[in-house]
C-alpha cells in the first residue's frame, strides 16, 4: 500500500483561531460523495494464533457517523488502532478518498488527516485545558522560547465554543474537570490538526447520563462540520441515537450493517451474539 499524506501544515495559534472563525469552519465541510472518505477492505490482523480481524470491511463517508459494535474481542479496538497507525494490518487494503494508503505510525495518520481519541483519553491532569489542547503543538513567540499563551487561550476558547463544549475556563486544570468535560477536551484537541476523519473509541464509557448526552452532541457537531466519524461503543442506545450506520463485528468479521435510524436493539444483539448472520458489507446497504 502506498501512502499519500497531505502537505504538512505548521499551525500557529493565530492560524488556528482564524481557521475556527472562517465561514467554512462554521458550515458543513466537504460535501457527501459516492467515494468513501475511508474504506477498509478485508482487513486481517493476527496476534500469534489469534485472528483479531479476519477480513473486516468498513467504509465511512464525509458528514457521516459509522458506529462499530460487537462483543469483547470482536476486533473493534484493533480496527481503531490500525486506522490510527498504532498497529499494522497483516492483510487487506486501506483507502482514503479513493486512494490506497499505508498508515505506518500515528504521525502518518495525523498527516493523512486522521485523528483518534482512545478510551484512556491521554490527557494530562496536571495541565490546564489550553495546555492539553496544544500538548505537543505548543506555539511560541517568534525568536523566543516563550509560549504564546494569549493566542493559544484565544484559540482554545474558540475551539471549545465551536464544539459546544461546556468548560468553565480554559485555565482550569483538567484533573479538576468531570469525566465528561475531560472527554470534551480530548475531542476538541482532535480539531487542531484539521482532520478529515475522527475515530472515537468508547467515548461515553463510564460517563453520567448528562455527560453522555453532551459527548453525543459533540459527535453530531463533528458530523455537521463535514468530518467522517468512526464511533466504537458497547452502548447500543448511544449508537442508535447518533449513528448513520451501525456495523456489527463478530470474531473479526462483518456480521451485519444497519441503518442507525431504524435498527432495533434486538436486531443488533442478535447479530452481535451470532443468533443471526449477515455476510453483506456496508455498500450493500447504501442503495
Query: Domains in the chain, ordered, with CATH?
Result: 13-285 (3.40.50.300)
Please count the residues of the chain.
287
Residue recorded with cell 480496527: 79
Answer whether 67's CB lies under 8 Å from 233's CB. yes
**pLDDT band with cut points at 50, 70 and 90 for residue 287:** very low
pLDDT category of residue 32 using cuts at 50, 70 and 90: low
Give me the sign of the Cα torsion angle 103, 108, 111, 113: positive
Task: Tell me the pTM.
Answer: 0.82
Task: For residue 211, give every residue at least 6 positions away whose Cβ sits within 8 Å of its Cβ, in sequence order, or none.
Answer: 178, 179, 180, 181, 183, 204
Give the residue among 102, 104, 44, 40 at the shortest CA–CA distance from 66: 40
Question: What's the whole-number mean pLDDT along residues 193-206?
Answer: 90
Tell me the per-residue pLDDT of 132-158, one tens digit each, with 9 for 90 and over: 999 888 878 888 888 888 889 999 998
C-alpha cell belonging to residue 212: 453522555
pLDDT at 28 over 50: no
Contact 68, 230 (CB under 8 A): yes
Please state the rounded mean pLDDT for residues 254-260. Answer: 94
Answer yes or no: is pLDDT of 29 > 70: no
66 - beta bridge partners? 230, 245
Q: Quick one: pLDDT at residue 25?
A: 38
Considering 12-21, 60-69, 176-185, the range whose residues carry the highest mean pLDDT is: 60-69
The mean pLDDT of 177-203, rounded to a whole number, is: 90
pLDDT tier, 26 (very low <50, low <70, confident <90, very high otherwise): very low
Amino acid at each position: 500500500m502506498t501512502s499519500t499524506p497531505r502537505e504538512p501544515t505548521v499551525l500557529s495559534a493565530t492560524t488556528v483561531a482564524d481557521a475556527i472563525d472562517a465561514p467554512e469552519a462554521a458550515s458543513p465541510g466537504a460535501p457527501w460523495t459516492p467515494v468513501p472518505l475511508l474504506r477498509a477492505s478485508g482487513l486481517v490482523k493476527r496476534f500469534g494464533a489469534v485472528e483479531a480481524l479476519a477480513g473486516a470491511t468498513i467504509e465511512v463517508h464525509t458528514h457521516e457517523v459509522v458506529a462499530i459494535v460487537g462483543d469483547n474481542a470482536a476486533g473493534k479496538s484493533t480496527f481503531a488502532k490500525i486506522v490510527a497507525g498504532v498497529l499494522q494490518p497483516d492483510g487487506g487494503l486501506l483507502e482514503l478518498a479513493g486512494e490506497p494508503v499505508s498508515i505506518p505510525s500515528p504521525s502518518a495518520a495525523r498527516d493523512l488527516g486522521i485523528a483518534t481519541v482512545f478510551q484512556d483519553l491521554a490527557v494530562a491532569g496536571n495541565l490546564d485545558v489550553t495546555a492539553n489542547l496544544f500538548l505537543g503543538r505548543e506555539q511560541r513567540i517568534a525568536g523566543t522560547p516563550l509560549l504564546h499563551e494569549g493566542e493559544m487561550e484565544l484559540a482554545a476558547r474558540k475551539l471549545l465554543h465551536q464544539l459546544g463544549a461546556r468548560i468553565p475556563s480554559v485555565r482550569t486544570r483538567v484533573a479538576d474537570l468531570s469525566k465528561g468535560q475531560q472527554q470534551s477536551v480530548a475531542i476538541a484537541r482532535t480539531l487542531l490538526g484539521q482532520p478529515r476523519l475522527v475515530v472515537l473509541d468508547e467515548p461515553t464509557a463510564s460517563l453520567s447520563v448528562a455527560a453522555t448526552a453532551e459527548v453525543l452532541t459533540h459527535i453530531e457537531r463533528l458530523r455537521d462540520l463535514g468530518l467522517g466519524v468512526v464511533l466504537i461503543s458497547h452502548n447500543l442506545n448511544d449508537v442508535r441515537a447518533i449513528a448513520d450506520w451501525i456495523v456489527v463485528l463478530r470474531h473479526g468479521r462483518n456480521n451485519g450493517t444497519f441503518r442507525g435510524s431504524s435498527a432495533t436493539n434486538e436486531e443488533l444483539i442478535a447479530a452481535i451474539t451470532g443468533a443471526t448472520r449477515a455476510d453483506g458489507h456496508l455498500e450493500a446497504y447504501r442503495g
